[in-house]
Amino acid sequence: MNRCGIFDSGIGGISVAREILRAKLFNKIIYFGDTARVPYGNKNESTIIRYSLEALEFLKNFNIDFLVVACNSASSVAIDELRKEASFPVVGVIEAGVRAVEKRAKRNDNILLIGTKRTIASNKYQSLLKKRGFNNIMAIPTPLLVPLVEEEIYEGRLVDDVFELYFNGINKDEIDVIILGCTHYPFLIPSFKKHFKKATLIHSGQAIVEMLEDEYGLVKRDNSTIELFASEGVDEFRKKALRWLFQS
Ligand code: DGL
């Protein structure tokens, strides 16, 4: 039996869990969404570290063999602290995302990184990308996209207006790669494709699956199930998560 714990600040990490579940890399996934304290992305570093360690403690009750930190904000500041407290591998979406960029992009590509305020301010993506020779990086915090996704608004006028607010100074045709550096953003992929016609999109969930397969040698199992937990509004959370997990 191999068991994976996944946590996120809320429901957004379901975009990561969905990919892992579809790839059937674990017999069992235990997902925790910290719905009582979402969003993490506007909070300071020490608060996010404390919340992340609490999520780890909760997930340890299920005898997990792996921890996936689905939240970009937590991955940006809490990975080292989590690794100190875990006796199993802890993988975060930022390392995975940078690896995915390396596989898909050229060194002189124009990369647009978007995420929460904390993820962008942490400089984690930017410094890892620069170490690997990617220097054309534009980083923009885009926190308003999170509540839109929470409300299941993925396309249309409101999304277009928020895109206009954040991206009006950008020549969209010159962007080669967009790092969707927040668990919520994969739900907006149709809108990203509409606005950024030629960009390759980096999706944290797909990036994590690739990393688990390539670096940890995980392979497809016959069966994979998921159990869902949240710190508040559990019934509503489960309903929404199941819709997101099994929507096409
Ligand atoms: N899950 C968070 C992330 O990926 C986005 C929502 C939040 O701010 O907590 O950064």
Q: Which of the following is catalytic: 14, 20, 49, 71?
A: 71
- For 134-153, how does the pLDDT look when each residue is reduced to its tens digit (9 = 90+)? 999 999 999 999 999 988 89
Ligand 1 atom at minimal distance to the Cα of residue 143:
8
- Do 38 and 118 lie in one domain? The reply is no
The per-residue pLDDT for range 62-103, each reduced to its tens digit, is 999 999 999 999 999 999 999 999 999 999 999 999 999 999
Distance 242 CA to ligand 1 centre (A): 19
CB 180 within 8 A of CB 201: yes
User: How far is it, in rounded angstroms, from Cα 194 to Cα 171?
Assistant: 14
Note the pLDDT tens digit of each residue in 168-223. Answer: 999 999 999 999 999 999 999 999 999 999 999 999 999 999 999 999 999 999 99
Among this protein's residues, is 71 annotated catalytic? yes
Q: Say yes or no: 185 and 231 in one domain.
A: no
CA angle 151, 29, 86 (to 5 degrees): 105
One domain, residues 12 and 61: yes
> Kind and range of the H or E element at 6?
strand 3-8
Domain that holds residue 235: 3-92+206-246
CATH number of 161's domain? 3.40.50.1860
Residues 48 and 9 in one domain: yes
User: How many domains does one find in the chain?
Assistant: 2
